[in-house]
Structure 1
Amino acid sequence: MNIELARPDDLPELLDFLYAAFRAGNPDHPRFEALFPDLFAPAAEAMARHQIIRKGGRIVSCVGTYPMTVRIAGCRVPAAGLGQVSTAPDMQGHGFMTQLLAAAARRMEEEGAAVSWLGGRHDRYGRHGWELVQDGYVFSFSGGALRAMDENLLVSSAPGSAAEISEAMFAMRDAATGVEDAPESYRIRLGRGEAEVWTAHRRKTDAVAAWAVVLPKARRVADFCGTTDGVIQIAKSAALRHGSLSLPASGADKGLLERLRAECAYMRIGSQMLRIVSLVRTLAAYRPLVEAAMPSGCGATLRMTRGEAPAEEVVLGAGGRAIELDPKRMARLLFGPERAGDVPGVPADLHWLNAVFPIPFTIPELFHV
């Protein structure tokens, strides 16, 4: 069977196919042009992100891969989101998903991704190479039990479609954990989920201290940037309006984490599905973070097996003993949630690895696919 790249004239059929496929498991599932307006533009580049299989002239299976660059802990990580994985209900059991996921993995490697993210179930995607790893922390605010608000900050909100985001505000994202984007495409993303843009201003100067994108139906913060005080003021204000609010935060944002622990009602460890597309590219992207954490005089060689493909090797520090793991265990070593020394296959006496790993990775919900 042939795997094709979708074309602009496939858009109506593809949208109808996806809607029918996902509604089979969830009758309330929205249409994809409303859910992801940024991913389904009728342009050749956007449509070619979707690989499809046809049978009898109709689309029967699909997967989408979406390149992105994630900024985290001073590093720029080339990543690819995986989404819209689907097969027509009457065509399941023919191996279409297996073939498309393998093709998507090859495509991501060819396009230079270091890691691949998806929001699906572990029991479905684990056997295809994605692993459940840590995704920072999720802090919950309850509108009925909030601590005192900061009187030095004023908070306002507007629908995402009408929000005014100045160049200076958008530039604030450069210093935050997040996904690189252009202002034009970011504004299209704000059409997702009836998003709201919340802004915290300094009372005396009216300067913007922080701003965030809130999804009111989900009652979650989907993206944010700015000062810790401003972000927390926004979270409290949105929780008061919506009754409660969840704010995911990366383990890389140490100062924010400490404040959120003190202010929130509940905290839990987040999880996500990751696949290491390339060990070499992953550790090259995180080199500044890894080198800063490496204890003096320590070293090892990480070796990731890849089935019939050649294994990848990366030397840490002074080099030394080889640690050979399959991609799923390597993902757990690099990204948690357990300590590096607790991952099966890692020698128990290499305690220094716990000072280096896990490394943080997270994709704000506004960029989920």
Structure 2
Amino acid sequence: MKVRRFFENPRFLILYNLIIFRALGLAPFSVNIRILNEENLSAYDQAFTISVFGRIYNIILLAFMIWLITRNSERINIDEVPIKGELPRLVGISIPWLSYVITLVIWIMYILRQNQMIAVANRLHKSLKTIKMCHIEHGYYMVVVWSIYLLATINILMDKDLIEVSGRFMILFYLIPPTVLGWMIIQYTFIIDIVRIRIVSFHDALIAIGGRVKTSEFILTKSFIGTEALPMILNIQKCHRDLLAICQQAGYLYAPLLLMSLFYFSIAGVYTTYFYLFPIIHHTTRKWIAAAGWFVYQFSSIFYMANRANGLKRAVRTTPNVIHMVLDRCAMHSDIARQ
């Protein structure tokens, strides 16, 4: 239990997220960690601000990746792909180049759209301040996701066949772009999950409004919600509208990047399946382990996004049921009913 509480500590999770995303060039902005703690929710307005260092760091990453590509382009040879057939060889050589290009595009987009991303992050934090709650349920799960990525990466680095063909340095060179793509998908998924948690919090707040109200002097079958609950209801309405706007803004920012990343992982997944299909059929245990590592590495972020998107969909569908439940349980002041 102590270990779980440590992993779910807000400060640890914030630092953990920031270190990973910033190292991968996915957090080119400044973060005031104190603002994101529960104790400081009402003290500040802007948790995320523009960072010149973040932009410079992403520019350095761009230059470093271009240098790596230029330096190692000759080592990526079609003849080194250990698969028979011209089409598989062409696909095998195209996949790394596709991942390099998408990674460069992601870093450039993060530099150009830094202001928009900061606006989305601050709006999410503002909704957190409005309802005075701090639910970070996704944080502990993030530790699990990162651990799975790490284990899968280590498993790939220990694949003897790939080491013999490419060498350890080239394997690491191959893994950098897919890692950036995968964590970009996870970052977008965190936004989805935060919105889901906010909606669930609104549901709890609505139910609490009906549960905390006092019964009037008359004998009623329903509790009475008076005008004292109006500010809370207005806050809930405002936050709900803000969340819809945040979803639209996040979709605008991430949609092209997600499309390119999903396109890459689709092709890479088919190629990985083809690459390991024949050894798996022959029941080679080591190939089973290597194939599992590649599949987890390539598809875990997509699975996580699909899982959280379904959770958000279920939460949104629950909203009318919660509203009708409150209406059935409670009698309302006319001003409340109009809202």
Does TM-score exceed 0.5, indicating one fold?
Answer: no
Scaled by the length of structure 1, the TM-score of the pair is 0.21
Instruction: Report the structure, 1 or 2, having the larger helix content.
Output: 2
Computing the radius of gyration over CA atoms, which structure comes out larger, 1 or 2?
Answer: 2
Name the structure where strand makes up a greater proportion of residues: 1
